């Protein structure tokens, strides 16, 4: 009797475990372990001979000195043209004390120089969404936050032509303390045409 009950219990555990496993596989999300993004994943090489992304730690910097090139893409010989361009403002801006941001200097095929230093310009620069890093950058550009905190880790999955993110809304994200103390879980989708929707 005990053997039969034990066997029945093991069978039921196996069924339940398999059921949960199939749910996890069907609805699998991958964790995002960093709040940064990989600018090297931007796939617009047909439009430019060269481009570089610069991190600006402060709006109070008045020259390239103190700024950092974090990504270079294309023919490096054109960097001599790009390095002449400077901006004190950019996209993906953060709060004080330095009000850091990023900007991109690109050399087009006609060898003209293009400065990308606003959220709107950066969205156009990304263009069609080709991978999860581009989707993440586009969402960050729209002021969605990807926290690297263990408690509020964002996750994502790919579904057809969309990247679906589960992340947290921390409330008012201006340069004053947020009104909303406990963040709310939200879900957004970024499709290949660079459109964001709340789910």
Q: What is the DSSP string of the chain?
A: -HHHHHHHHHHHHHHHHHHHHHHHHHT--EE---SS--GGG---TTTEEEEEEEEES-TT--SSTT-EEEEEEE-GGGHHHHTT---S--BS---TTTT-EEEEEEEETTS-EEEE-SHHHHHHHH-S--SHHHHHHHHHHTT------STT--EEEEETTEEEEEEEE-S--SSS--S-SS-EEEEEEEETTS-EEE-
Per-residue pLDDT of the chain (199 residues; tens, 9 = 90+): 444 444 433 333 343 344 333 334 335 899 887 777 788 889 876 789 999 999 999 888 888 888 999 999 999 999 999 999 999 999 998 876 668 999 999 999 999 999 999 999 999 999 999 999 999 999 999 989 887 777 888 899 999 899 999 998 876 555 555 555 678 899 999 999 999 999 9
User: What pLDDT is stored for residue 4 in this prediction?
Assistant: 47
User: What pLDDT is stored for residue 33 in this prediction?
Assistant: 76
User: What pLDDT is stored for residue 170 in this prediction?
Assistant: 74
User: What pLDDT is stored for residue 85 in this prediction?
Assistant: 95
Residue in 146, 138, 115 with CA at minimum distance from that of residue 53 = 115
User: What pLDDT is stored for residue 17 in this prediction?
Assistant: 42
**Owner of token pair 């581009």:** 134
User: What pLDDT is stored for residue 120 in this prediction?
Assistant: 95
User: What pLDDT is stored for residue 145 in this prediction?
Assistant: 85
User: What pLDDT is stored for residue 1 in this prediction?
Assistant: 46
């Amino acid at each position: 009797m005990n053997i039969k009950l034990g066997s029945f219990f093991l069978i039921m555990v196996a069924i339940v475990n398999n059921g949960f496993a199939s749910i996890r596989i069907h609805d699998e999300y991958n964790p995002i372990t960093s709040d940064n993004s990989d600018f090297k994943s931007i796939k617009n090489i047909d439009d430019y001979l060269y481009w570089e992304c610069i991190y600006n730690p402060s709006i109070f910097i008045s020259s390239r000195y103190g700024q950092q090139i974090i990504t270079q893409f294309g023919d490096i010989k054109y960097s001599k043209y790009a390095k002449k361009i400077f901006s004190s403002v950019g996209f993906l801006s953060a709060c004080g004390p330095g009000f850091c941001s990023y900007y991109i200097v690109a050399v087009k095929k006609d060898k003209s120089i293009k400065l990308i230093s606003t959220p709107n310009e950066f969205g156009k620069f990304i263009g069609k969404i080709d991978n999860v890093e581009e989707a993440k950058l586009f969402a960050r550009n729209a002021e969605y936050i990807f926290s690297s905190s263990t408690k509020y880790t964002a996750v994502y999955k790919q579904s057809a032509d969309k990247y679906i993110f589960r992340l947290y809304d921390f409330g008012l994200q201006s340069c004053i303390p947020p009104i909303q103390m406990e963040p709310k879980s939200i879900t957004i989708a970024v499709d290949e045409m660079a459109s964001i929707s709340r789910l």
